[in-house]
Amino acid sequence: MAATSFASADELDPAVGKALFDRKWVQAPASTNSADGLGPLFNAGSCAACHKNGQAARFSSVDGVLGSAGFVVRLGDAQGHADPLLGRQLQEHAIPGLLPEARIEPYLEKGTDGLPLMRARITYNDAQPAPGTHTEFRVAPSLVGRGLIARVAEKEILNHADPQDRDGDGIKGRVRIVSTPEGSRIGRFGLKATGVSIADQTADAMMLDMGLSSPFRPDPYGDCTAAQIKCLANANGRSPSSDGEEISRAMIEMVAAYVATLTPRPVPANADGARLLAATGCAACHVQTLKSEAGDALPVFTDLLLHDMGDGLAGGFPDGYATAREWRTAPLIDLASQNGKRRYLHDGRAATLDEAIRWHGGEAQKAKELYMNLSAADRTKLIDYLGSL
């Protein structure tokens, strides 16, 4: 049979997914059903607005004013429940005829130990959070390497868990189990390991950040609450051509296929860097490789478990199974500074990898102390290694 020049559907999925990732969505109704449904309240008009080229949130500073693309404010009470008036997240933008929920101006404040703290001035519009609601700052993480994380075998994650610290090393990594329509699965994506797949995480972000519904998250008004009557009075972009939602399952899966192609740089041959990562104990959680179901060694530099990181890095509230102090081990992938536009940790407080390490506590306290006890030359070698990942 003669060879064909036509690409297969699987080959086209990432290309179409990138177009959807970059697409600037518009409010409903619009002349094209496949491009409307934005909002009514939202933080961004496209995935690329916060994840340019699939990378992390970007920051700038002009005359001491901190600018950001990909900085959000989450809301929750002491049990982690969303605010009854404003939902899970403050929305800084709105379609015409509505007011955004708030104006958010992040800024940095020096802590007592000299390390920076992330703060924000929040100016509310129509409503303020209910009494007892706390705030938590988050920044968009890099999406590079998520395809590797998706391939990690579940047994690999389970094998690294030690919730009772039976080996006595002070590290108690916990697996997050997420209930899905297909049954219980291991969470591996998101700062609290809430996502079981790239598609699942993509659908949640599109709903929460852009107000776009899908079969994964059938919420055509996004994060609007029952109290936000004006928000709920607007048209939505649900369409039979999109599985009855604003984005079809196929569209979500194509965006996920694109994200899965964002391949990290090859791990550099750096014996000193790898040795220091292990010698400080950082590699106990930032495990260099985890195996796929086929046995391939995947360079993810994470155990994909929840760890208590201490009071210094505690968020504003728990997130279901995860406590306020617990975060999923961040993969050490795509850590370049981007000429100073990149900041680190869950809320972007750290301007450098050195600052990020110095913020570690809880189960990572011993590793931080070993890092601090390195010679200045060895600390530089380790930081240079991390920055090259």
**In terms of domains, do 228 and 94 share one?**
yes
Q: Is residue 61 part of a domain?
A: yes
Choosing from 219, 235, 260, the residue where a domain stops is 260
Structural domain includes residue 171: yes
Q: Say what the pLDDT of residue 308 is.
A: 98
Range of the domain at 308: 146-180+263-387
Question: What was the pLDDT predicted at 33?
Answer: 67
Asked if residue 382 and residue 288 are part of one domain, the reply reads yes
Mark whether 39 and 150 lie in a shared domain.
Answer: no
Is residue 17 domain-resident? no
Domain edge (last residue) among 260, 276, 306: 260
pLDDT at 4: 39
Contact assessment for residue 41 and residue 231, using Cβ atoms and an 8 Å cutoff: yes
Is the same domain home to 221 and 285?
no
pTM score, whole prediction = 0.94
What's the CA gap between 283 and 383, in Å, rounded? 14
CA distance 227 to 343: 35
Residue 348, domain member (yes or no): yes
Task: Copy the structure tokens of residue 358.
Answer: 């110095």
Here the CATH number for the domain that contains residue 170 is 1.10.760
Burial class of 290 by CB neighbour count within 10 A (0 to 12, 13 to 18, 19+): buried
Contact 156, 90 (CB under 8 A): no
Dist. CA 90–CA 93, nearest whole Å = 9
* Cβ neighbour number for residue 311 with a 10 Å cutoff: 10
- 163 and 238 assigned to the same domain: no
With respect to residue 218, please indicate whether it lies within any of the assigned structural domains: yes
For 155, phi then psi, to 5°, come to -65, -30
> Domain check: are 255 and 280 in the same one?
no
Asked if residue 324 and residue 345 are part of one domain, the reply reads: yes
- Residue 170 belongs to a domain: yes
**Strand pairing class (65-69; 58-62):** antiparallel
Per-residue pLDDT of the chain (389 residues; tens, 9 = 90+): 334 344 445 778 999 999 999 999 999 988 776 788 999 999 999 999 999 999 999 999 888 789 999 999 999 999 999 999 999 999 999 999 999 999 999 999 998 789 999 999 999 999 999 999 999 999 999 999 999 999 999 999 999 999 999 999 999 999 999 999 889 999 999 999 999 999 999 999 999 999 999 999 999 999 999 999 999 999 999 999 999 999 999 999 999 999 999 999 999 999 999 999 999 999 999 999 999 999 999 999 999 999 999 999 999 999 989 999 999 999 999 999 988 899 999 999 999 999 999 999 999 999 999 999 999 999 999 999 999 99
Say if residue 111 is in the same domain as residue 201. Answer: yes
Residues 230 and 270 in one domain: no
Gap between the terminal Cα atoms of the chain: 44
Q: Which of 242, 260, 278 is the last residue of a domain?
A: 260
What single letter denotes the amino acid at residue 304? L
Same domain as 214, residue 163: no
pLDDT at residue number 12 = 83
Q: Does a structural domain hold residue 216?
A: yes
Same domain, yes or no: 292 and 350: yes
Domains contained in the chain, number: 2
Cβ-based burial of 270 (10 A; exposed 0-12, middle 13-18, buried ≥19)? middle
Judgement on whether residues 247 and 158 belong to the same structural domain of the protein? no
For tokens 């791990």, name the residue.
267
Query: Per the domain annotation, does 115 fall within a domain?
Result: yes
Find out whether 187 and 210 touch, Cβ atoms under 8 Å. no
- Convert the chain into a string of H (helix), E (strand) and C (coil): CCCCCCCCHHHHHHHHHHHHHHCCCECCCCCCHHHECCCCEECCCCHHHHCHHHCCCEEEEECCEEEEECEEEEEECCCCCCECCCECECCCEECCCCCCCEEEEEEEEECCCCCEEEEEEEEECCCCCCCCCEEEEEECCCCCCHHHHHHECHHHHHHHCCCCCCCCCCCCCECCEEEECCEEEECCECCCCCECCHHHHHHHHHHHHHCCCCCCCCCCCCCCCCCCHHHHCCCCCCCHHHCCCCCCHHHHHHHHHHHHCCCCCCCCCCHHHHHHHHHCCHHHCCCCEEEECCCCEEECCCCCCEEECCHHHCCCCCECCECCCEEECCCCCCCCCCCCCCCECCCCCECCHHHHHHCCCHHHHHHHHHHHCCCHHHHHHHHHHHHCC
**What tokens does 82 get?**
């969303």
